[in-house]
Structure 1
Amino acid sequence: MQVIETLAEGLKREIKVVIPAKDMEARMNERLADAKDKVRVNGFRPGKVPVGHLKKMYGKSIMADLVNEILREKPTSILSERGEKSATQPEIAMTEDEAEAEKILTAQADFEFTMAYEILPPIELKSVEGIKVVREVVDVSDEEVNEQILKISESARSFETKKGKAADGDRITMDYVGKVDGVAFDGGTDSDAELVLGSGRFIPGFEDQLIGTKAGDEKTITVTFPEDYPAKNLAGKEATFDVTVKDVAAPAAIEINDELATKLGIESLDKLKEIVRGQIESQYGNVTRQKVKRQILDQLDALYKFDAPSKLIDAEFDNIWRQINTDLAQSGKTFEDEDTTEEQAREEYRTLAERRVRLGLVLSEIGEKGGVEVSEDEMQRALFAQLQQFPGQEKQILDFFRNTPGASASLRAPLFEEKVIDKLLSEIDVTDKKVSKEELLADDEAEEGDKPAKKAASKKKAAAKADDAAEGEEAAPKKKAAPKKKAAEGDAE
Structure 2
Amino acid sequence: MQVSVENTSALERRMTVGVPVERIETEVNKRLQQTARRAKVPGFRPGKVPMSVIRQRYEDAARQEALSDLIQSTFYEAVVEQKLNPAGAPAVEPKSFEKGKDLEYVATFEVFPEFQVTGFESIAIERLQAEVADADLDNMLEVLRKQNTRFEAVERAAEDGDQLNIDFEGKIDGEVFAGGSAKATQLVLGSGRMIPGFEDALVGAKAGEERVINPTFPADYQNLDLAGKTAEFSVTVNSVSAPQLPELNEEFFALFGIKESGLEGFRAEVRKNMERELRQAVTSKVKNQVMDGLLAANPIEVPKALLANEVNRLRVQAVQQFGGNIKPEQLPAELFEEQAKRRVVLGLIVAEVVKQFELKPNEDRVREMIKEMASAYQEPEQVVAWYYKNDQQMSEVRSVVLEEQVVDTVLQKANVTDKAVSYEEAVKPVEAPPAA
State TM-score, norm by structure 1: 0.66
Conservation of the 8 A alpha-carbon contact between 2:122 and 2:297: no
8 Å Cα contact 1:261/1:272 also seen in 2:
yes
Q: Is the 8 A contact 1:121 1:308 kept in 2?
A: yes
SS of residue matched to 2:145: helix
Partner residue of 1:363?
350
Q: What is the match of residue 54 of structure 2?
A: 54
Q: What CA distance in whole angstroms lies between the structure 2 residues aligned with 1:242 and 1:276?
A: 45
- Alpha-carbon distance in 2 for matches of 1:413, 1:434: 32
* Residue of 421, 428, 442 corresponding to 2:404: 421
Measure, in 2, the Cα distance between the counterparts of 1:309 and 1:170: 56
Change (3 A) 1:223 1:82: same
The equivalent residue for 2:83 is 83
Contact 2:17 2:78 in 1 (8 A): no
What is the aligned partner in structure 2 of residue 70 from structure 1?
A: 70
Cα distance, 1:286–1:75 mapped onto 2, change above 3 Å: farther
Instruction: Report the alpha carbon displacement of residue 117 of structure 1 after superposing the two structures with TM.
Output: 2.2
Matched, 1:308 2:301: yes
Structure-1 separation of matches of 2:245 and 2:292: 50
Aligned-pair CA distance for 1:219: 0.4
- Is it true that 1:144 corresponds to 2:136 in the alignment? yes
Count of residue pairs brought into register by the alignment = 387
Which amino acid in the other structure matches residue 75 of structure 2?
A: P
Q: State the one-letter code of the partner of 1:250.
A: A
Q: Secondary structure at the match of 1:136?
A: strand
Distance 1:446 1:218 in 2: 43
CA distance in 1, matches of 2:140, 2:342: 39
Matched, 1:293 2:287: yes
Is the 1:224–1:237 Cα contact (8 Å) retained in structure 2?
A: yes
Partner residue in 1 for 2:5: 5
Deviation at residue 296 of structure 1 after TM alignment? 2.3
Query: What does 1:84-123 align with in structure 2 at a 5 Å threshold?
Result: 84-94=84-94, 104=98, 107-123=99-115
Aligned partner letter, 2:108: A
Structure 2: gaps spanning 5 or more residues: 320-333, 374-391
1:217 deviates by 1.2
Counterpart Cα distance in 2 of 1:428 and 1:64: 56
Q: For 1:285, give the aligned amino acid.
A: R
Q: Is the 8 A contact 1:215 1:247 kept in 2?
A: yes
Who is 1:42 aligned against?
42
Instruction: Provide structure 1 residue ranges, at least 5 long, that are not aligned to the other structure.
Output: 327-345, 386-407, 454-493
Partner residue in 2 for 1:372: 360
Seen in structure 2, the aligned counterparts of structure 1 residues 8 and 245 have a Cα distance that, compared at 3 Å, is: closer
- State the one-letter code of the partner of 2:179: G
The residue identity in structure 2 corresponding to 1:434 is: A
Structure 2 match to 1:246: 238
Indicate how the Cα distance of structure 1 residues 26 and 415 shifts in structure 2: closer, same or farther if over 3 A, else same: same
Q: Partner letter of residue 435 of structure 1?
A: V
Shift of the alpha carbon at 1:7?
3.6
Is contact 1:17–1:112 with CA below 8 Å preserved after alignment? yes
Equivalent residues of 2:93, 2:105 under 8 A apart? yes
Q: What amino acid sits opposite 1:436 in the alignment?
A: S
Question: Aligned residue for 2:325?
Answer: none
Is it true that 1:135 corresponds to 2:93 in the alignment?
Answer: no
Paired residue for 1:216?
A: 208
Q: Helix, strand or coil: the match of 2:353? A: helix
Please give the alpha-carbon distance, in whole angstroms, between the structure 1 residues aligned to 2:361 and 2:88: 22
Q: Distance in 1 between matches of 2:418 and 2:83?
A: 43
SS of the aligned residue for 2:215 comes to strand
- Residues 184 and 154 of structure 1, relative CA distance in 2, 3 Å threshold: farther
Contact 2:211/2:236, CA 8 A, preserved across alignment = yes
Whole-angstrom distance in 2 between the partners of 1:425 and 1:13: 36
Give the partner amino acid of 1:210: L
Q: C-alpha offsets along residues 51-105 of structure 1, whole Å, 9 cap, x if unaligned?
A: 121112111111121222223333222212222212233322236xxxx76xx4x
**Match 2:149 to one of 147, 150, 157:** 157
The change in CA–CA distance for 1:38 and 1:373 in structure 2 (over 3 A counts) is farther
8 Å contact kept, 2:206–2:239: yes
Partner residue, 1:458: none
**Aligned partner of 2:252: which letter?**
L
Deviates more, 1:425-434 or 1:362-371: 425-434
Q: CA RMSD in A?
A: 4.1
Aligned to 1:183: 175
Deviation at 1:225, TM superposition (A): 2.5
Paired residues of 1:118 and 1:309 also in contact (CA < 8 A):
no
Residue 246 of structure 1: CA displacement? Answer: 2.1
Q: Secondary structure at the match of 1:223?
A: coil
Structure of greater relative contact order (alpha carbons < 8 Å, 6+ residues apart):
1
Report percent identity of matched pairs: 31
| Partner residue, 1:262 | 254
Deviation at 1:220, TM superposition (A): 1.0
1:166 to partner: Cα distance: 1.3
Asked whether the equivalents of residues 158 and 240 of structure 2 are also in contact (C-alpha less than 8 Å), the reply is yes
Give the Cα–Cα distance (whole angstroms) in 2 for the partners of residues 9 and 273 of structure 1. 62
**Is the contact made by 2:359 and 2:402 (CA closer than 8 Å) also made in structure 1?**
no
Structure 1: how far apart are the matches of 2:314 and 2:48? 64
Deviation, structure 1 residue 243: 0.8
Could you say if the C-alpha distance between residues 413 and 62 of structure 1 is closer, same or farther in structure 2, counting changes exceeding 3 Å? farther
2:192, 2:199 within 8 Å by CA — same for their partners in 1?
Answer: yes
Deviation string 1:260-318 (CA, Å, 9 cap, x unpaired) is 3235654254454345434444444343223312332344346546x424426854996
Q: 1:171 aligns with which of 153, 157, 163?
A: 163
Q: Is the Cα contact below 8 Å between 1:137 and 1:432 reproduced in 2?
A: yes
Q: In structure 2, how many angstroms separate the alpha carbons of the residues matched to 1:353 and 1:47?
A: 56
Task: Name the amino acid aligned to 1:365.
Answer: E
Contact 2:32 2:55 in 1 (8 A): yes
1:14 is paired with a residue of what secondary structure?
strand
Could you tell me which amino acid in structure 2 is paired with residue 293 of structure 1?
Answer: K
**What is the aligned partner in structure 1 of residue 28 from structure 2?**
28
Q: How far apart are 1:26 and its partner, in Å? A: 2.7
Match runs of 1:438-477 below 5 Å: 439-440=425-426, 450-453=433-436
Q: Is the 8 A contact 1:374 1:416 kept in 2?
A: no
